[in-house]
């Protein structure tokens, strides 16, 4: 009985709505020694790139991420992507702006000299760029003991105009498991649906059968949490 109770708690943690994989709920931050966000005054946010195949990923996540960045209570100013493009146009450096952005989108790194030149013209101390690294929806697998889930990984990077290098990076991974799972009735052979825990079946059978056929959460349900974590990482 004790073993069944422990297994039940484990399954409950797995299927709880909104669960996040990994330890903690904050983005992972890496920075160069001596670099402090609090020393910044103005950054240029150039935009969000992607390493995934879904062409809609950037269109879905980009506006949400930028909204969270602008709303976060930091002391420095973040120029929006559209404002950066507007200033570049006014200064007659649209091609330079496009070159820096395209190089990031294509290679996920910056052209040091062009980035520094753009920062000087825009009057900013650094550029801020993002990338979507994982964009996954899975219906789960009984054989792999895996629940239906949606997972997004994204990161933000700050490249300093002074050094031309990446000085700061935040990365967030959020996995949200499906709320409902397909179960099988071993006595009748009929399928049934359930939400959470509470089946009359023993927990060993539940552990094996909770996993297949459920629709994973929509990406729109996961995007805000990833965006919020990345934006919160930028608060000194």
Domain coordinates of the chain in residue numbers? Answer: 21-178+215-233
Give bridge partners of residue 156 from the DSSP assignment: 130, 170
| Lowest mean pLDDT segment, chosen from 7-16, 26-35, 54-63, 77-86 | 7-16
Q: Is the pLDDT of residue 177 over 80?
A: yes
- Tell me the torsion sign for CA atoms 168, 21, 18, 217: positive
Of the candidates 225, 219, 224, the one whose C-alpha atom is nearest the C-alpha of residue 26 is 225
Compare 69 and 4 and report the one with higher pLDDT. Answer: 69
Which phi and psi (to 5°) does residue 166 adopt?
A: -75, 125
CATH number for the domain whose boundaries are 21-178+215-233: 3.40.50.10610
Please give the pLDDT value at position 111: 96
| Helical residues (DSSP H) of 54-144, grouped into ranges | 57-71, 81-90, 94-107, 112-122
Compare 15 and 148 and report the one with higher pLDDT. Answer: 148
Q: Is the pLDDT of residue 21 over 80?
A: no
DSSP 13-64: HHHSTT---SSSSSPEEEE-TT--GGG--EEEEEEEEESSS-TTHHHHHHHH
Q: Is the pLDDT of residue 73 over 50?
A: yes
Whole-model pTM?
0.76
Compare 52 and 190 and report the one with higher pLDDT. Answer: 52
| Helical residues (DSSP H) of 142-218, grouped into ranges | 203-209
User: Which whole number is the average pLDDT over 138-167?
Assistant: 89
Q: Is the pLDDT of residue 17 over 90?
A: no
| Lowest mean pLDDT segment, chosen from 75-79, 141-145, 175-179 | 141-145
- Tell me the torsion sign for CA atoms 182, 183, 184, 187: negative
């Amino acid at each position: 009985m004790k073993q069944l109770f422990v297994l039940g708690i484990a399954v409950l943690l797995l299927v709880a709505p909104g669960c996040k994989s990994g330890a903690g709920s904050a983005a992972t931050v890496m920075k160069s020694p001596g670099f402090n966000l609090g020393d910044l005054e103005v950054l240029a946010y150039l935009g969000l790139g992607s390493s995934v195949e879904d062409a809609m990923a950037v269109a879905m996540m980009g506006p949400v991420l930028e909204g969270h960045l602008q709303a976060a209570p930091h002391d420095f100013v973040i120029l929006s992507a559209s404002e950066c493009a507007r200033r570049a146009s006014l200064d007659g450096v649209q091609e330079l702006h496009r070159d820096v952005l395209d190089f990031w989108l294509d290679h996920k790194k910056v052209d040091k000299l062009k980035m520094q030149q753009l920062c000087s013209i825009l009057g900013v101390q650094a550029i801020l760029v993002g990338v979507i690294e994982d964009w996954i929806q899975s219906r789960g697998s009984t054989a792999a003991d895996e629940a239906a889930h949606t997972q997004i990984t994204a990161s933000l990077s700050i490249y300093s105009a002074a050094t031309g290098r990446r000085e700061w990076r935040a990365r967030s991974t959020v996995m949200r498991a499906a709320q409902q799972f397909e179960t099988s009735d071993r006595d009748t052979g009929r399928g049934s649906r359930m939400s959470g825990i509470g089946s009359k079946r023993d927990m060993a059978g539940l552990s094996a059968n909770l996993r297949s056929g459920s629709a994973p959460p929509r990406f729109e349900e996961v995007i805000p949490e990833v965006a919020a974590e990345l934006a919160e990482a930028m608060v000194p």
